[in-house]
Amino acid sequence: MQIALPRFPSPELIEGILLVNKTKGSSSFSLVQTLRRRLEVKKIGHAGTLDPFASGVMVMLIGRNYTRLSDRFLGCDKEYIAEVFLGITTDTYDSEGKITLESMRIPSLEEIREALNGFQGEVEQIPPMYSAKKIGGKKLYELAREGREVARKPVRINLETHFIRYQPPILELRIVCSKGTYIRSIAHDLGLRLACGAHLANLKRTRSGKFCLQNCLSETELYSPSVNLQEKFVFS
């Protein structure tokens, strides 16, 4: 009598989309490494990275058939909740950089609402020096760390910027944007418009394309051996 042995799916057959709520402080690549280890799948990518200081939706693409679709997912619009700290400018445009300017000026709510009109619809944005964008084959942040600043061409993006609350020095915004938008640059440019300087203090991605934060797996679940990750896959 033959005994039927349990069959386990080949790594090549494990594929789909896993939505993860990245926590502040972890890197996007650490999620890729964790999934490779847990699923034993080499081909894993994502539909847009998040800086370590940011949190929120990471669309993880599992398997060759899904990593091939990365451009399709990268092109989708994204939505963020951003906290902008007014009065302090940093070299990285976020809370992890060195302070380059401080101001005692406190903009009024009316000034803020007026300034936000400049961050609606199709606008031009200059990529920040501290970014992974390449110029001459070298990433901008590599040049910035060498103390070099180079000219960058403005990029056309689409924005919807919504006011949430203002409790000086913190301004909270909801931003819907197209591919290639730097939320750090929005914070910096807004500070220039308000003549007080600003940087991005906190950032949470709440949506990437049609995938929303409430449908994401927590990082605690991601690392838990008791959670069957394949049961959490979504398909598109």
Query: Which residues are annotated as catalytic?
Result: 51
Helices (H) and strands (E) in the chain, counts: 7, 14
Cα–Cα dist 197/93, whole Å: 10
CA angle 49, 54, 60 (to 5 degrees): 35
Backbone angles phi, psi at 145, to 5 degrees: -70, -20
- Who contacts 119 (Cβ-Cβ below 8 Å, separation ≥6)? 159, 161, 175, 186, 189, 190
- Who contacts 76 (Cβ-Cβ below 8 Å, separation ≥6)? 47, 179, 208, 209, 210
Q: How many CB atoms lie within 10 A of CB 67?
A: 18
Long-range contact set of residues 149-153: C-beta below 8 Å, sequence gap at least 24 = 152/126, 152/127, 153/126
Query: What is the maximal distance between C-alpha atoms in the chain?
Result: 84
Cα–Cα dist 79/222, whole Å: 23
| CA distances from residue 117 to 29, 111, 112 in whole angstroms, order as listed | 36, 10, 9
Give the distance, in angstroms, between the CA of residue 28 and the centroid of all CA atoms in the same chain: 9
